[in-house]
Structures are given as C-alpha cells and as structure tokens.
C-alpha cells in the first residue's frame, strides 16, 4: 500500500492505493487513521510479548580481515627481530615499525567493533 496525494481546488486529498492491484484498486481514504488503527491492533495483540533482540557476531568478511591483519603483524614482527629482514637499514626498520603500528591499530579497531 502506498499513500497517494491529489490536490483539487486547493485542498489535498490522501488515500491508500494498492501497488499490486490493476489500476491501483479503489483506494482507501484517511491513511493516517488506517495506520493508527493498524498499530493499535498490532500492539493490543503483541504488546505483552517480550522484546527479542539479535546480536550478530563477526561476519566472514570481518574474520577474513582479522586473519589478514594478524598474518601481516606476524610477518612484520618476525622481520623486526634481531637479524630480521627489516633490521638491515634504518629506513627499512622505521618503515616496518610504522607499518606494524598501523596494522595493530586496524586490528584493535576490528576487535573493538566485535566487542559491541
């Protein structure tokens, strides 16, 4: 059902029309009254039911991203160990440390979101 509005002689008329009916059906006037009655009827039937909530765990994409970050962090940590790949020059060590810090921040953000 959709609310249709027409304006005739400066006055606005609203009515509900069926989107699936041929030619939109006959239409029902006063959509606000119809919706109010619908809400009232639904709440009178379901009003005493307990509210159910759903909590979603990390999706497959978030888990995949977390695994990628953990693998990258392990790679950079191993490369920064004494005699590691990134300790040969000051430049590579500084870049690896900065990249490692950025990866850790990204992993922390994912873990904070997962804790919600």
Q: Which residues contact 69 (CB under 8 A, 6 or more apart)?
A: 103, 106, 107, 110
Select from 109, 86, 110, 89 the least CA-distant residue to 99.
86
Q: Tell me the pLDDT tens digit for each residue of 84-104.
A: 999 999 999 999 999 999 999
In this prediction, residue 35 carries a pLDDT of 84
pLDDT number for residue 39? 87
Question: pLDDT at position 115, please?
Answer: 67
d(CA 111, CA 97): 21
What does the pLDDT read at residue 56? 63
Can you list the residues of the chain whose pLDDT is less than 70?
23-26, 55-58, 115-116
pLDDT at 116: 62
Question: pTM above 0.75?
Answer: no
């Amino acid at each position: 059902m959709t609310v249709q509005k027409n304006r005739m002689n400066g006055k606005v008329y609203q009515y509900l029309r069926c989107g699936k009916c041929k030619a939109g059906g006959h239409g029902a006037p006063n959509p606000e009254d119809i919706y109010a009655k619908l809400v009232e009827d639904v709440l009178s039937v379901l009003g005493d039911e307990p509210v159910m909530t759903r909590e979603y765990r990390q999706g497959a994409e978030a888990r995949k991203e977390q695994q990628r970050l953990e693998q990258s962090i392990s790679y950079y940590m191993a490369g920064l160990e004494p005699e590691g790949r990134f300790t040969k020059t000051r430049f590579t060590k500084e870049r690896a440390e900065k990249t490692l810090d950025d990866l850790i921040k990204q992993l922390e953000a994912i873990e904070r979101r997962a804790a919600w």
